[in-house]
């Protein structure tokens, strides 16, 4: 799962989901979400409804600015583990400060971030910088193995890498 780039004058950006079976792309699903809105969790639910999969990988929980996906809700709805993959170590102090400074409903948004589990460091490729993952509804060793197995072309797992290319590329066209 990845989002597209956006300009402040636009109120929407793309959210891209790539369904993969092993290393093969099975489906690409695109929807628009509101920048700094509150529709990302519901939109993700709508995007994935009707598909069968073993896990969901998110590239963080914050999309389109501070439009947060609630991984616990997604895990409950679909009954599969959710792995949150970040390229750099999450800075929750900075995230909290930004939420407090920019959103009246910052406590509601912050509760999603606060409810996440332990952050684990994972090296997906030898000599590559680490990734940071959080796992909801699953075991860390299983999640680490999956992240490593899917990091075939770079340190980023393929579903996230491909979703990023698609979302960022298409959002430049709109």
The pLDDT of residue 172: 65
Delimit the domains of the chain by residue range.
2-169
Region 41-63: mean pLDDT is 96
d(CA 115, CA 117): 7
Radius of gyration of the chain (CA): 15
- Evaluated on CA atoms 36, 41, 43, 48, the torsion sign reads positive
Region 97-108: mean pLDDT is 96
Region 84-88: mean pLDDT is 96
CATH topology for the 2-169 domain: archaeoglobus fulgidus dsm 4304 fold (3.30.2170)
pTM: 0.92
The pLDDT of residue 171: 72
Interior angle at CA 25, CA 24 and CA 30, nearest 5: 165
pLDDT surpasses 60 at 27:
yes
């Amino acid at each position: 799962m990845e989002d597209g780039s956006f300009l402040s004058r636009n109120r929407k950006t793309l959210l891209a989901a790539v369904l993969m079976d092993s290393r093969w792309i099975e489906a690409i699903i695109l929807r628009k979400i509101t920048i700094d809105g509150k529709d990302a969790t519901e939109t993700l639910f709508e995007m994935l409804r009707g598909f069968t999969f073993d896990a969901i990988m998110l590239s963080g929980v914050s999309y389109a600015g501070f439009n947060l996906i609630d991984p616990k809700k997604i895990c409950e709805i679909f009954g599969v583990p959710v792995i949150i993959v970040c390229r750099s170590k999450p800075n929750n102090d900075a995230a909290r400060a930004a939420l407090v400074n920019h959103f009246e409903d910052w406590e509601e948004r912050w509760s999603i971030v606060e409810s996440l589990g332990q952050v684990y460091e994972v090296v997906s490729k030898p000599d590559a910088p680490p990734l940071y993952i959080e796992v909801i509804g699953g075991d860390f060793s299983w999640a680490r193995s999956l992240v490593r197995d899917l990091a075939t072309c770079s340190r980023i797992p393929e579903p996230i890498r491909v979703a990023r290319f698609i979302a960022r590329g298409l959002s430049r066209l709109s």
